[in-house]
A and B are shown apart, each in its own frame.
Chain A
């Protein structure tokens, strides 16, 4: 039996994760209103003043975490979700990794733990009431922050039970609600920070203001390995005394990977950005990585021919060699995909304040764990000498796992001895990203209309730093997991080439290219053997396999439901054609299928008549929030499929802003239907599983319409337009 002490806390927000409604300066203030609270579990406190405080450590970046997580607690605890106050766990450098938000894992990870936390508190409150009234706990129930005696209707508010409950033993295995009885989970809820957003009060890193703060923008080396030779700031004189200082920023290794540069420090953002434009910096660009995109593409192709694979896999995992498939019956095919940027609407930024050997920083970070791991080392200080205040993120998509922005702001603040907000211009953001890698795939298969015998996938990919393939580009979503279809013999091999520009996680990571390749190839095989593409997939998915593939049934099911929703078994109207593809996203326990109905004019203008997505992500906590993610996934993926590419000239990124890295617009969005598969399985992540199957479904529809295979994305570069 564990003892829980009676805890007196003062609600304290120093360093806490700030809700959008909270003015950031409150970060410094202590709330002195003391109150008695009972804390049956580290994640929650139930207080005498009626508040239920929920401590969460995940970052909000648009995916609705702060709505979904309180709902789970409110459900088990039987309180009004509006009464739940969310506080971020104070940043704790030793446990910073727990704040990381990626891999669509927030809800998945929190679901059982918050349910248990709620059930624990509810059980203890019931036991407290039972003691208070001297009745058997079995006759008591809870509703709306009260314990109710079902025999006589007598009731007592939770907040009157705090003291008594605190003294009780903590149940080891509290009984959870039956999902059948859920009142909140699975019912749509409003996002709890919507009021802040629609009134403009929500504060993002870009909006932060600290007393005495100055502003900075950095002119960065146009090449990742570039160095500053000298600079000339004479043109900045015209901007007047608002330009305060010019500070050199140096590149840091060890996972920071910022660029060398020169910062313009000014009294406001605009002067800093103007100064950045006027500052003339002379660079030593070096001799490394001065490639054009066409050369990168050549290198990728060449690597497959001449290099030995850096890493090979077979069905069992890592293998020792890759054996090319030879013979007349081998079907070989290639696909190529470009670098992609994240282009979140809030450009990168960070505010830092250096004082007495310590750094305090403010910003939106997906991975505070990386801050604790990387920055103190890079700056040669103790782990607790870097303190981070996490702010809501204006779109992350993987980019905000990085800490280059923090390192820049910290260097500048140290140099000038003042708090500084360092902002990226849009061009800085587009040109200094950690990109989705460019990749070139060659797949060789032997197959017939009953199934696939051999599958050999060779993947050449731009790696960083050096030829290091970070874990996000293989393993999960890479060569092992890319193929959910049972095959007799499986092989894959990696051929990394050195990328001139940094790479990083991008929404749906390796799945974004591997699923494209696998799903287009299955479609090619179905066409070759004149089998219906849905039937072909299903018949293979249903085959016995010695390769461990989890939950193939769930994938089958989304495929079937998707086909039904697009009316697959009935012919479309004249000149309309359909394509389908599916994706298993095992580590977020998500399964999705997309189908497109399109027509293609003789001039290659594509008109999308309808898109359907069938998706199974287990139990859904917040259906509207969930659907938002599926809608967002379509918009995201269509941008990449149709329009976007990051290209290089002499190693320099060519794109600057939304005029040359264009994204989908409202009027371009096709009719879209989402079919949610009802499920009692533990909730999976919603942000990524419905990204990968969009591109292959569209490209398969293009094949159905034109007989031409799309081998390379984006479609715009291949001569297709949106009709």
Chain B
């Protein structure tokens, strides 16, 4: 991937109140690229899923930092990297299966499915004990 036209980075604590902050901050930055409201909402939704996973699963009952990098590229692509230094994922393939959740309660196990559904590319890398990185890419159209 070439260098981004523009890029921003965010670091914030894994508090659930920051879920709303993170998705709004990323979408406010991404919005400088012309795109439809639908596309912007797709980005918001996918970011919310990844950030929530870092909070709920990555850091579980502890608090750590979440790192977001959002790049805007010439080929009308928005690329968002969401990283935590939490517990990591043992089996990524299994984790990404629809309806799989390691937590009970009200988790549907559909976060990764939602990310896939609303972006053009989803890449997950993780090391148990080290943390998880999710990369989301969204191609956006030029608004007429």
Q: Do A and B truly interact?
A: no
Query: B-side interface residues toward A, CB under 8 Å?
Result: none
Query: A-side interface residues toward B, CB under 8 Å?
Result: none
